[in-house]
Amino acid sequence: MRRRLVRQITGFSNETVKRVRSLRDKKHRRREGLFLAEGLRILTEARAAGALPEILFFAPEGAGHPLARGLIAETEAAGGDVIETNADILSKLSGKENPQTLVGVYRDRLTPLAAIDRTRSGIWIVAQALRDPGNLGTILRTSDAVGGGGLILVDDCVDPFSVEAVRASMGALFTQTIAAARWEEFVAWLRQGPAQLVGTSLRTDTDYQATRYQAPTFILVGNEAQGLPAPYENQCDLLVKMPMRGKADSLNAAIATAVMAYEVLNQRRPR
C-alpha cells in the first residue's frame, strides 16, 4: 500500500479527532466497524498477532521507545493514517485524564460462527448475557492463557470492542476468535460437529473436578447476577459446580471461567 506521511493534529475541532472520539460510543463503533485500543503493550500485542491500526495517534514523548518506533513505521508502510498529537487530544480520545501515549483505531474482529474451526483448540468459552466489560476482557485473557480458541458471546452481551473491554483484555482481544450469536443459532452450530457443552451451575451435585472433559470443551458461563437460564442448562451435555466453603454462594463470572478453563487444561497436560 501507499506510504503516508506523518501529520500533526492539535485541535479538538479536527474532523478525524471527532470521528475517532465518537468510537467510544457503541452505536458509532457498530456504524463504522472500528474500535479503539490504547497503550504500547496492547498495540504491540496486536502487531504481533498481525493486526495494525488503520489510524495511529501518538505523542512525541511516547515515540522514542523501539517498539513504538516499529509500530509507527509499520503502520506508515501499510498505508495507515499516522498522526502526531498531544496529551490533551489523547485524553479526549481515550476518556482518561492520564492517557497512554499511543492510541490505535482497528477494524472490528467479529468472526461468523460458520467460519470458526472448532478443532483448532480443545477449549472454547461461551458467555451468555455477560454485562461487565472487565469480566469480558479478563475472560479473553484467560482463554489466551490456556490456549483457548476464543470467546462466543450469546444473546445480549456487553460490547467486546468497548474501550473498557479492550483495556481489560490486555491484548488478548487480538489473539482470540470472537463471535456473537443468539442462543438458538449457537446451539444449532454447536451440534453440527464434535463438542461437549459444559455449563457452570449451582443446580447440580457434580463437582467440577469429578468428571473428565471431552475435547473440544465449550465452557458456558452465565450472566453475572442471574447465572444461566434453566432452558439453557437443559441443553448442556454436563453441568458442574465449584465448592463454596464460605458464605459466598458463587464466584465472579470471570474467576469461575478461569477455574474451569484451567481444570480442563490440567486434565490434558502431560504429567
What's the confidence (pLDDT) of residue 4? 57
Q: How far apart are CA 110 and CA 177, in angstroms?
A: 7
Are the beta carbons of 163 and 29 closer than 8 angstroms?
no
- Domains of the chain, earliest start first: 7-107 (3.30.1330.30), 113-268 (3.40.1280.10)
DSSP string, 211-226: SPPPSSEEEEE-BTTT
Give the pLDDT confidence score for residue 10 in this predicted structure: 81
**Which percentage of the chain shows pLDDT scores above 90?**
82
Torsion, Cα of 148, 53, 170, 30 (10° steps): -80
Average pLDDT on 184-206 reads: 96
Using one digit for the tens of pLDDT, what is the confidence trace for 70-127? 999 999 999 999 999 998 999 989 888 788 889 999 999 999 999 999 999 999 999 9
Angle at 18 (CA atoms; ends 42, 108), nearest 5 degrees:
40
Task: Give me the percent of the chain exceeding a pLDDT of 70.
Answer: 98
Listed residue (238, 246, 234) closest to 219, CA to CA: 238
Q: What is the mean pLDDT of residues 199-220?
A: 95
* Confidence band, pLDDT 50/70/90 cuts, at residue 250: confident
Please give the average per-residue pLDDT across 245-262, as a whole number: 90
* Whether the Cβ atoms of residue 142 and residue 125 lie closer than 8 Å to each other: yes
User: Can you give the pTM of this predicted structure?
Assistant: 0.92
25-34, 189-198, 242-251: which has the minimum mean pLDDT?
242-251
State the average pLDDT over residues 52-59. Answer: 96
Rounded alpha-carbon distances, angstroms, from residue 195 to 113, 149, 236 = 14, 13, 10
